[in-house]
Amino acid sequence: MGGWHAESMKPLVPFVRNVEWEPHDELVEQLRAAMPEIDVVVHADIPSERLGEATVAVVDGPSAEQLSSLSNLRFVQSTWAGVEAILPAVPEGVAVARMVDPQLALTMAEAVLAWTLYLHRDMPRYARQQTAREWIEQPPVRASSRRVSVLGLGALGTVAATTLRDQRFDVAGWSRSPKLVDGVECHHGTDGFTAVLERSDIVINLLPHTAATVGLLGTDAFASMRPGSSIVNFGRGPTIDDDALLAALDSGHLDHAVLDVFDVEPLPESHRFWSHPSVTVLPHISGPTSTDTAAIIAADNIRRFLADGTMPSDAMVDRERGY
């Protein structure tokens, strides 16, 4: 992968990824290609006497030990949109930017549309009918009559909601604070949360993992959802109470759940989700980082920071809120 070159006079930017994980050679090479005037060096390859030179680092799932070794660190650029797993490793006083990548939003919107259509067109039911060798035509429902709601109207949620809108679904959205999205019925706050759940045939959860969202989708939330409705979780696993979801599915109150994120990943083999007939399990594939575009965005942010200390205002993480 190439290590530190002592003769280099380029600014040093460490690439920090937990050493217990597989290396991410592709991302490192993309970062080097995107900012050739900067020395992007894998943290483990930097001599200890050079670690204090770095004021900015690219992080891709770092450990606290790795980041604490960078004594002059002021700014970290994450390659991930979600930062709940990164924040505990970042020393106090160090600014954090999450990855805000238009391509990531498009990739997530594509997944939201695909799995909304999966539920909208009754794919789980037809799969069960095939297993039972049953030839039964289910009555179709127009997209305009299917009420879909997106929880979380940030960078990803807004693009997802407008993508669904453009496919003529009846779309609503919920966010912590008021938002306006053209053609989307927007709600906010506690009352708005309940109102969105009550009106929805399909709920798309894109909420981040914060203290305020842990278990937010639990017994009360599922009871508020319409009988026979379904949920898609592309946000974070801890936002859903697994036991409450299984109870709602077992009772028949909810029809189906498409789950891409979980409290523990990989999902343990013993978990009921694997074998539940009303659950579709995905291996965290809804919104992968696009290494080429993420590298370009990270490079632009790092150049500005090294030039004059500027940080990307649209991507900075509020530690108190957790995103």
CB-neighbour burial class of residue 285 (10 A; exposed 0-12, middle 13-18, buried 19+)? exposed
Catalytic option among 236, 271, 272, 304: 236
Helix (H) or strand (E) holding 258: strand 254-259
What one-letter code names the amino acid at 210? T
Q: 3-state DSSP call for residue 123?
A: helix
- Residue 253 annotated as catalytic: no
Question: Distance (Å, rounded) from C-alpha 252 to C-alpha 12?
Answer: 57
- Residue 103: count of CB within 10 angstroms of its CB: 14
Specify the residue for token string 């969105």: 196
Stated length of the chain: 323
Phi-psi region of 176 (alpha: psi -120 to 50; beta: other; left: phi over 0): alpha
Question: Distance (Å, rounded) from C-alpha 235 to C-alpha 272?
Answer: 20
- Residue 236 annotated as catalytic: yes
User: 18: which residues sit within 8 A by CB, 6+ positions away?
Assistant: 61, 62, 63, 66
Q: 3-state DSSP call for residue 57?
A: strand
What one-letter code names the amino acid at 131? T
Catalytic option among 256, 284, 319, 321: 284
Active site residues: 236, 284
